[in-house]
Amino acid sequence: MKIMRLSVVQQVIEYIRKCVEDGSWKVGDKIPSEHELTELLGVSRASARVAIQQFIAIGVLESFHGKGTFVRNKDLTALGKKESRITRADCDDLKKVLEFRKLIEPEGCNLAAQFASEEDSEELKLHLEGMKTNIGNPVGFMKEDVQFHEAIAKASKNHLIYKSLKQVFDTTEKDHTYLVDVFGFKDGIYYHTVILKAIMEKDAKNARKYMIEHLQQAIDRME
């Protein structure tokens, strides 16, 4: 069963909704994995992941690490509001945002490793701890994630890098919440940890390298 390219995420949402509504997936059932949905529907893994997250957010689905995702209940009344947000979080637009960020953030890391003050490092540590506290909460996690990236730009001591990045985040605030579905909590924590370590050790080469890897991984997952 192949799905048309138009409104891919929305169509995956409709497929999941139908399976829950018609009883194909009963409460307690394990649903197909992201990979299986990708193969079944002919969509990207990013699209499947974002769609699944909408049902997790309203309590219809529940994900367990290492076990999979299960139907928790069949109450779909809260789905409409989530759908209106997801249609604006178009995967192609998010990919363009990530490509732009990749042009400026690695150099921001390079400069931050050279010029970050102790105060800058403490602010970065604070936001990393905030991300860990918000594992399982995409909105809270992304808020801390954004502030971490902005703090690196500020630590670069280059006001153009900081202003450019802040404008990106300010104008795509809602869409960035869905980048959690691309990075995942685990990968976000890992890359922010190694980036912070490199900055604190004044290791400009690795700070730049890890930021490139971090953003490229997300770009690859948007394919």
Q: Which residue has the tokens 């490793």?
A: 113
The answer to whether 19 and 31 have CB atoms below 8 angstroms apart is yes
Give the helix ranges, DSSP H, for 138-203: 138-155, 159-171, 173-176, 180-200
SS3 at position 70: strand
- Write down the pLDDT at residue 174: 64
Cβ-Cβ contacts under 8 Å for 3 (sequence gap 6 or more): 11, 12, 15, 41, 42, 43
pLDDT tens-digit series, residues 195-217: 999 999 999 999 999 999 999 98
- The larger pLDDT score, comparing residue 4 to residue 183, is at 183
Q: For residue 98, what are the CA distances in angstroms to 52, 81, 109, 172, 204?
A: 22, 26, 16, 11, 21
- Residue 81 is which amino acid? K
pLDDT tens-digit series, residues 20-32: 999 999 999 999 9
- In the chain, where the domains are located: 8-86, 91-221
* DSSP annotation string for 82-149: HHHHHTTS-HHHHHHHHHHHHHHHHHHHHHHHHH--HHHHHHHHHHHHHHHHTTT-HHHHHHHHHHHH
The matching CATH number, chosen from 2.40.50.100, 1.20.120.530, 3.20.20.80, 3.50.30.40, for 91-221 is: 1.20.120.530
Of 105-109, 138-142, 157-161, 165-169, give the lowest mean pLDDT range.
138-142
pTM over 0.75: no
Domain 8-86 classified CATH 3.40.50.720?
Answer: no
pLDDT tens-digit series, residues 44-83: 887 888 788 788 878 899 988 889 999 999 988 877 655 5
